[in-house]
Amino acid sequence: MEFVVKEDKDKFELMKKMVEFQKNVKQPKKDKNNPFSKSSYASLQSVQETAVEALEPLGLSFFQDFGINNEGKTLSVQTIIISNLGMIKFNPIVLPLEKITAQGVGSASTYARRYALTTNLAIVADEDDDGNNASNVSKNGYNKQNNGYQKHNYQQQPKANQSSNKRNTNQSKPLNESEKLKAEEIRYNNNAKQAIEKIGKQNAQQIFVKAKQIYKIDDIKKCRANDLANLNSYVEAEVKGQITKLGAMTND
């Protein structure tokens, strides 16, 4: 995430507006059904209407830019919040692009815009299809709704409770590169487990092999945290895409 402002105080004001947005935003109407997973989800139009409704009173609006990358293998979408104070540029969401046709690009773009908007603005567009999410935390302390970062915080919390207030203050500092990589490794391992559970071992392996080829990662322990984060986003989107396609095939 990047703030583009003239003065530091404008960045703080933008952050305050986003906090207000989170307080006021309503969850979108889930107006579509996925017969494969037997769940409902919010369409792109529903998500956009929900976002606009909460952004406009705060003097905020958004637009999304996308491009085709990696020789037509992926499509990236970037959500940008704009106001008279400046802009908030979220990191692009990268999704697989299987067919470079009008229909293929259009379908992938619609899904990518919806996925990026819900991810960047923390809008819940899908029903929770994981029974363990009812309690949020699994046996190993991993919170599946927070893509890996919660486990890092969860493991550190007991130590923080036993330490001084100064240590608690230090925990709020941004993660360094090593900590980010560790968090992404946790996210990666969890993605692998969930992918096998939801689409089978063979399909999961194909997705991970392709993802490593696209992002040129041989060893997840020896890559940059940002590269592994992009790989994780790719895998998560691809798994969701596989589930959606299976649902559409079943519906047909």
Q: Write down the pLDDT at residue 25.
A: 86
Q: Write down the pLDDT at residue 247.
A: 58
- The domain total for the chain is 2
Q: How many CB atoms lie within 10 A of CB 154?
A: 15
202-212 b/e (C-beta count within 10 Å ≥ 16 → b): ebbeebbeebb
Residues 99 and 163 in one domain: no
Residues 113 and 135 in one domain: no
| Residue type for position 23 | K
Question: Where among 121, 141, 168 does a domain terminate?
Answer: 121
Q: Write down the pLDDT at residue 208.
A: 92
Question: Where among 62, 94, 121 does a domain terminate?
Answer: 121
Residues 117 and 195 in one domain: no
Q: Write down the pLDDT at residue 161.
A: 46
38 domain-assigned: yes
pTM exceeds 0.75: no
Residues 169 and 69 in one domain: no
Three-state secondary structure readout of the chain: CEEEECCHHHHHHHHHHHHHHHHHCCCCCCCEEECCCCEEECCHHHHHHHHHHHHHHHCCEEEEEEEEEHHHCEEEEEEEEEECCEEEECCCEEEECCCCCHHHHHHHHHHHHHHHHHHHHCCCCECCCCHHHHCCECCCCCEHHHCCHHHHHHHHHHHHHHCCHHHHHHCCCCCCHHHHHHHHHHHHHHHHHHHHHHHCHHHHHHHHHHHHHHHCCCCHHHCCHHHHHHHHHHHHHHHHHHHHHHHHHHHC
Residues 62 and 153 in one domain: no
Q: Write down the pLDDT at residue 174.
A: 57
Of all residues in the chain, what percent carry a pLDDT higher than 90? 7
Residues 116 and 87 in one domain: yes
183-235 pLDDT per residue, tens: 888 889 888 988 888 888 888 888 899 889 888 898 988 898 888 988 888 88
Residues 112 and 201 in one domain: no
**Average model confidence (pLDDT) across the chain:** 75
6 domain-assigned: yes
| Residue type for position 42 | A
122 touches 27 (CB < 8 A)? no
Residues 220 and 144 in one domain: yes
What range does the domain containing 233 cover? 131-251
Residues 6 and 80 in one domain: yes
126 domain-assigned: no
Residues 10 and 98 in one domain: yes
pLDDT at 136 over 70: no
Q: Write down the pLDDT at residue 57.
A: 92
Question: Where among 121, 146, 170 does a domain terminate?
Answer: 121
What residues pair up with 4 in beta bridges, in sequence order?
87
Report, in angstroms and rounded to the nearest whole number, the Rg of the chain calculated over CA atoms: 19
Residues 114 and 145 in one domain: no
8 domain-assigned: yes
Residues 151 and 99 in one domain: no
